[in-house]
Amino acid sequence: MPSLKDLRNRIASVKATQKITKAMQMVAAAKLRRTQTAAVSARPYADRMERVLANLAASIATRGQVPALLGGGGDSVHLLVVCTAERGLCGAFNASIARLAREAALSLMGQGKTVKILCVGKKGHDILRRQFGGQIIEVIDLRAVRTLGFGDADAIGRKIVALHQAGEFDVGTLYFSRFKSVIAQIPTAQQLIPVAALPPEEKAGQPRAAYEYEPDEEEILAALLPRNISIQVLRALLENAASEQGARMSAMDSASRNAGEMIKKQTMTYNRSRQAMITKELIEIISGAEAL
């Protein structure tokens, strides 16, 4: 049985840990509002960009002129762009994104496809390198970035476009976690290349507005397709930032609660041991007095 000094040291250690977890929870709660606002604000623009490109793609496909970023190539080589956090202590946030990418990679490899992985974030690389070390082509480190902006996403987007133009892959998919609430983050896979088609409900017999483009569709697509990839990467990074803070807030709250329960148990054990020692000393004193 541990001594009273050992129990006191344990209680002090858990109390110090609880202070850290409470502080991290408060920091995550303070950052969550800002990151959530940024993620929610980016959604309408990114969604509208996808819809515009899907309409343009449907229009240009009828004339048989399909740019490379819209498809038209094979699907033998797949690039998985896995976006995760740079830091841990956020529950299963990083593991859930890596799990979704791992399942997709194994499924594609089972079909005889070639898989390449571009990791955006240190934690995703740490998880995936154990099983897919040979497939990881690059790791993008964002630890030095304090506030995510379009410039950070554009650098990643240009890298993806350059790899596609060099013939390094045929299909590109983006993996991230979509923010829903503090306790719910949804791992998501979004196809970047080729651009996804319109949803089925918008294709099946529903009237669509006719658009006239100036300049023509080919010139617009040449400018918008690379920009769309950067926009979607930015949306993924902002969603990840909000999801990370929400997951960290929940994880630190659970850790603080567990630390509180551990302190109660250790304190009860300490009090019982102390009472037992006092009782033993009293018995020895009384026995000695009676012996005299």
Instruction: Assess whether pLDDT exceeds 70 at residue 76.
Output: yes
CA-to-CA distance for 93 and 89, rounded, in angstroms?
9
Read off the pLDDT band of 251 (50, 70, 90). very high
- Assess whether 119 carries a catalytic annotation: no
The residue that leads in pLDDT, 206 or 53, is 53
The pLDDT of residue 219? 80
**For the segment 198-235, what is each residue's pLDDT rounded down to a tens digit?**
555 555 455 556 667 777 777 888 888 889 999 999 99
Instruction: Assess whether pLDDT exceeds 60 at residue 30.
Output: yes
* Active-site position among 42, 56, 80, 90: 90
- 106-120 burial code (b ≥16 CB/10 A, e <16): eebeeeebebbbbbb
Percentage of residues in the chain with pLDDT exceeding 90? 63
Arithmetic mean of pLDDT, 180-184: 91
Read off the pLDDT band of 72 (50, 70, 90). low
What's the mean pLDDT when you consider all of the chain?
88
CATH homologous superfamily of 20-198+215-252: ATP synthase, F1 complex, gamma subunit (3.40.1380.10)
The pLDDT of residue 198? 57
**For the segment 127-162, what is each residue's pLDDT rounded down to a tens digit?**
999 999 999 999 999 988 888 889 999 999 999 999
CA-to-CA distance for 226 and 229, rounded, in angstroms?
5
Question: Is 148 exposed, middle or buried, given 0-12, 13-18 or 19+ CB atoms closer than 10 A?
Answer: middle
Arithmetic mean of pLDDT, 252-267: 95
The two structure tokens encoding residue 152: 């950070």
How far is CA 138 from each of CA 125, 258, 275, rounded to the nearest angstrom? 9, 38, 61
Angle at which helix 217-291 crosses helix 93-110, to 10 degrees, equals 130
Domain spans in the chain, listed from the N-terminal domain onward: 20-198+215-252
Arithmetic mean of pLDDT, 70-77: 76
**For the segment 93-128, what is each residue's pLDDT rounded down to a tens digit?**
999 999 999 999 999 999 999 999 999 999 999 999
Q: For the chain, what is the HEC assignment? A: CCCHHHHHHHHHHHHHHHHHHHHHHHHHHHHHHHHHHHHHHHHHHHHHHHHHHHHHHHHHHCCCCCCHHHCCCCCCEEEEEEECCCCCCCCCHHHHHHHHHHHHHHHHHHCCCEEEEEEECHHHHHHHHHHHCCCEEEEECCCCCCCCCHHHHHHHHHHHHHHHHCCCCCEEEEEEEEEEECCEEEEEEEEEECCCCCCHHHHCCCCCCCCCCCCCHHHHHHHHHHHHHHHHHHHHHHHHHHHHHHHHHHHHHHHHHHHHHHHHHHHHHHHHHHHHHHHHHHHHHHHHHHHC
